[in-house]
Amino acid sequence: MNENGIENQLRRLLRVQPSPHLDQRLNMLFRETGAARSSILMRSVPAWMATAACLVCTVAGLGTRSLFIPGRNPPTVVYVLPPNEALTRFLAGPKASRRDNFDFSRARVEVIQPPAPQGGEL
């Protein structure tokens, strides 16, 4: 008898069958695991807890939002000295009319009058 012959003879041997009890045990195991899984899903977070968590997260999110969004800078103040109306108009006017990179769109132009010379003093 060669190797194949032995294999064939072996394959034809009747093997001991597992008892029906094993099937019962395994079926129960699968069923219980499935049921346990379902019950875990069913008794998941209650609606009120989910809502509360959602509210807390929203408040916390809004609170931390300001930390990440930079505040607007106060407007630039440009002092024009000595007083020059043409320059004031030029700076406060549209940027397109200038050939520089300065943005004075939010600038506040203040024209400062120099103090009047005080005469009669020695």
Partner 1 sequence: MNEAFVERLRQCYEANRQELYTYSLTLTGDREAAEDAIHNAFQRLLRRGSAPADLRPYVFRCVRNAAMDHRRQLKRREDSIFTLTDDNGPSHTPGVHVELKQLLTQLSEDERETIVLKVFDSLTFQEIARVREVSINTVSSWYRRGMEKLKTLWMEEVK
Residues forming contacts to partner 1 in the complex (CB under 8 A) are 1-3, 6-7, 9-19, 21-23, 25-26, 29-30, 33-34, 37-38
CB of residue 15 vs partner 1: minimum separation in angstroms?
5
- Count how many Cα atoms sit within 13 Å of the Cα of residue 105 in the half-sphere of its side chain: 7
Give the Å distances, CA to CA, from 76 to 52, 69, 88, 122: 44, 20, 14, 40
CB of residue 36 vs partner 1: minimum separation in angstroms?
9
Question: Is-contact 90 59, C-beta < 8 A?
Answer: no
CB of residue 53 vs partner 1: minimum separation in angstroms?
24
- 92 closest CA partner among 67, 72, 75, 69: 75
Q: Which of 34, 93 has the CB closer to partner 1?
A: 34
Q: Which of 20, 74 has the CB closer to partner 1?
A: 20
Q: Which of 12, 99 has the CB closer to partner 1?
A: 12
